[in-house]
Amino acid sequence: MAKKQVAEKELKAKEAELQDTEKKVKEVFESEADSISIDDIKSKSKVADPEDFDWDADDKLFGNYSKADREKMEEMYSGTFNSVSKGEIVSGTVVTINNKDVVLNIGFKSDGLVPLNEFRDMPDLKKGDTVDVFVEQREDENGQLVLSRKRAKTQRSWEMINEALENDTVINGFVKSRTKGGLIVDIIGVEAFLPGSQIDIKPIRDYDVYVGKTMEFKVVKINHEFKNVVVSHKVLIEDDLESQKVEIVSKLEKGQVLEGTVKNITDFGVFIDLGGVDGLLHITDISWGRIEHPREVLSLDEKVNVVVLDFDDEKKRIALGLKQLSAHPWESLDADLAIGSKVKGKIVTVADYGAFLEIIPGVEGLIHVSEMSWSQNLRNPQEFMKTGDEVEAVVLTLDREERKMSLGIKQLTPDPWENAAEKYPIGSKHKAVVKNMTNFGVFVEIEEGIDGLIHISDLSWSKKINHPNEFTKVGEELDVVVLELDADNRKLSLGHKQLEENPWDTFETIFTLDSIHEGTVTKVTDKGALVALPYGVEGFVPTKHLAKQDGSVLKADETADFKIIEFNKDSKRIVVSHARIWEEAKAEEIAEERASKKKEASAASASVKKVKDSVEKSTLGDLDVLSQLKDKLEGDAKKAAKKKEEAK
């Protein structure tokens, strides 16, 4: 209203100024007319030459002003109008309103037009009202002044938004619609984004309830390049709550009971709104009984009474408790419950080391995995039970002060080791199931609770086993014989190979030293090779004993003859050689050849001696015989040398 009065006052001042100017112009015209006589007018009319005609003069020749007078008149005339520039925001008065446009007077030489749809937010607009408009063009192609109220609003809004960010002031905005991740807010024509996290201090589950509302905001970010604005309503709430937090925390005391509202639920706990400040109710402080998730007990927006457990003045952290408002269940535990008592309950947790049995809400006992079965072969507790199972157990230990209890379920059945010596005497044969394997042996179960070990060396008489999984597998049934029994320490030593006679007693008579047997190379290593011999026996060939007579070596899957060079019944070890066979044969051949040469040499020596003895009696014919004998001896020597060279 005040703005309208100011506009009317300015309009009246303009009209008065215009009337005063017109009066001055009239006085100047009259003074000019008085200074010209009738004769001058006639004379000038007669002598007027078309070439000298002043086209600026009027019909009565009143337009012949001096330069100074003309400038004075133009200055007075231009003073009657406002000077406007393109892009400027000016105030205008409504002159006329039609069905399409609104005509505005901004004090320019011509009125401007603004589309009527730009005044939709002003349904009561009427003649004489003053509004701000933006000068789009001083003259368009039709010489019309072009104005825009929309751009003026936007310009004003941007100025106001930038001032709000700079000065940290509060502005109003209208929530237009919902968008992904937040809301769109109209701030006097400028659209701003309100993130969902900045709507309120508590999580918002339904954004639509804010659409159509006018709210207060603070500008938190402006991107001038993309004309993006981000606003927040949450900071206004936080500013108000900060003072409340200080006041609330200053009055807190440990053990104080407060009423709060469930604000948020997480896996580890619940955040409670205490009326301006949040406290954390940890999952372990919700119930004396074990729960998997806080949602089992509490729900969003629920009002609850909680007790203050601890708080931090500086960080405003408050620890709350709910279960502390009720008596501890251990206090109501049956007084007659003692060690050896039988209890029933529900399995609430299963871990690697055991399971927790809840007897009554808040009172639990641990069933260790070793107390689940008489078997010494520990297994996964999940093989015995799962969460939710109804189980009966025996109390093994009970500490009411420490509120701890250990339970057992194997105690519900007789201990199988009590009469193990009678059932499993040394030398007795049984069937067992493979339960587990290690590098040194196989663990088997003869019956529930009776476990035994078969050492790797007691699996087979003849086969060399590197790992038990080469011989058997878990779940397989084996025939066993009892080798040793220690009932006090619950230890049972078993054997499998002892079910048969020791074949090495027989092998000792077959694989004698230097005996030759056919075998097949099964595996070649850096140190030698393994050879499959008759009767399923395995021998070892050192690398140097793999050589063949032609210089090559035996390879996997090759079959050849092997000589026994070592046999050890106790360690079940047989060492064989292929090279030894042909090396010894060759040595024998050389020895025989040497013996033959030695015999021939002896015979030749005897012949020479006989010749010498009779040389004195020899004739020329005898000399020929002697020469022939000499040639024969030399020939034999050469042949012997050649054979020796070939042997080398």
pLDDT digits (tens, 9 = 90+) for 452-476: 899 988 888 767 788 888 888 988 9
pLDDT tens digit sequence for 419-445: 888 888 888 888 999 988 889 999 988
Two tokens at 27?
Answer: 């006085």
Pairing type for strands 214-223 and 170-179 reads antiparallel
- In which residue are the tokens 């309503």 written? 233
Query: Any idea of the CA torsion for 571, 576, 580, 584, to the nearest 10 degrees?
Result: 80
pLDDT score of 489 more than 50: yes
| Angstrom distance (rounded) from CA 377 to CA 296 | 38
Give the model's pLDDT for residue 17: 62
Q: Is there a shared CATH topology between the 416-499 domain and the 504-577 domain?
A: yes
Pairing type for strands 450-455 and 214-223 reads unpaired
Between 47-51, 258-262, 546-550, 613-617, the lowest mean confidence (pLDDT) is in 47-51
pLDDT tens digit sequence for 168-182: 888 888 998 888 888
- In which residue are the tokens 């026996």 written? 537
Mean per-residue pLDDT, 152-160 = 76
Mean per-residue pLDDT, 200-209 = 79
Letter string b/e over residues 157-182, b meaning 16 or more CB atoms within 10 A of that residue's CB? bbebbeebbeeeeebebebeebeeeb
pLDDT score of 123 more than 80: no
- The length of the chain, given as a count of residues: 648
Mean per-residue pLDDT, 147-172 = 79
Output the CA torsion sign for 49, 53, 58, 61: negative
First to last CA, the chain: 136
Instruction: Please check whether residue 176 is in contact with residue 185, taking contact to mean a CB–CB distance below 8 angstroms.
Output: yes
Please list, in sequence order, all residues whose beta carbon lies within 8 angstroms of the beta carbon of residue 244, skipping any fewer than 6 positions away: 275, 276, 277
Between 26-30, 129-133, 138-142, 206-210, the lowest mean confidence (pLDDT) is in 26-30
Instruction: Please check whether residue 543 is in contact with residue 579, taking contact to mean a CB–CB distance below 8 angstroms.
Output: no
Mean per-residue pLDDT, 229-242 = 80
Q: Is residue 137 very low, low, confident or very high in pLDDT (cuts 50, 70, 90)? A: low
Give the model's pLDDT for residue 159: 77
pLDDT score of 648 more than 60: no
Q: Is residue 416 very low, low, confident or very high in pLDDT (cuts 50, 70, 90)? A: confident
| Angstrom distance (rounded) from CA 546 to CA 261 | 87
pLDDT score of 34 more than 50: no
pLDDT score of 189 more than 80: no
Domain boundaries, the chain: 2-114+133-144, 252-325, 329-412, 416-499, 504-577, 584-647
pLDDT score of 644 more than 60: yes
Domain 252-325 bears CATH identifier 3.40.50.720: no
pLDDT score of 48 more than 50: no
Mean per-residue pLDDT, 596-603 = 72
Q: Is residue 542 very low, low, confident or very high in pLDDT (cuts 50, 70, 90)? A: very high
Q: Is residue 22 very low, low, confident or very high in pLDDT (cuts 50, 70, 90)? A: low
pLDDT score of 77 more than 60: no
CATH of range 416-499; options 3.10.50.40, 2.40.50.140, 3.20.20.70, 3.30.70.1450: 2.40.50.140
pLDDT tens digit sequence for 206-224: 888 888 888 888 888 888 7
Pairing type for strands 363-368 and 429-437 reads unpaired
pLDDT score of 643 more than 70: no
Neighbours of 373 (CB within 10 A): 18
More confident of the two residues 7 and 65: 65
Q: List the Cα angle 397/402/405 in 5-degree steps.
A: 30
pLDDT score of 61 more than 50: no
Q: Is residue 282 very low, low, confident or very high in pLDDT (cuts 50, 70, 90)? A: very high
- Give 131: exposed, middle or buried? Use CB within 10 Å, 0-12, 13-18, 19+: buried
pLDDT score of 15 more than 70: no
Give the model's pLDDT for residue 187: 83
Give the model's pLDDT for residue 325: 84
| Angstrom distance (rounded) from CA 149 to CA 157 | 12
Written as one letter, the residue type at 648 is: K
**In degrees rounded to 5, what are phi and psi of residue 3?**
-60, -40
Q: Is residue 520 very low, low, confident or very high in pLDDT (cuts 50, 70, 90)? A: very high
Q: Is residue 289 very low, low, confident or very high in pLDDT (cuts 50, 70, 90)? A: confident
Instruction: Say how many CA atoms lie within 13 Å of 159 toward its Cβ.
Output: 7
pLDDT tens digit sequence for 290-320: 788 999 889 888 899 998 888 876 656 888 9
Give the model's pLDDT for residue 160: 80
The pTM (predicted TM-score) of the whole model is 0.40
Instruction: Please check whether residue 478 is in contact with residue 431, taking contact to mean a CB–CB distance below 8 angstroms.
Output: yes
Q: CATH for 504-577?
A: 2.40.50.140
| Angstrom distance (rounded) from CA 412 to CA 72 | 124
pLDDT score of 621 more than 70: no
Q: Which helix (H) or strand (E) holds 482?
A: strand 477-486
Mean per-residue pLDDT, 365-370 = 89
- In which residue are the tokens 């938004």 written? 161
In order of 248, 431, 513, the CA distances from 235 in angstroms are 19, 77, 99
For the chain, the average pLDDT equals 78
CATH of range 329-412; options 1.10.10.10, 2.40.30.10, 2.40.50.140, 1.10.275.10: 2.40.50.140
Pairing type for strands 491-495 and 450-455 reads parallel
Mean per-residue pLDDT, 628-647 = 65
Mean per-residue pLDDT, 604-617 = 64
Q: What is the DSSP string of 66-81?
A: -HHHHHHHHHHHHTTS
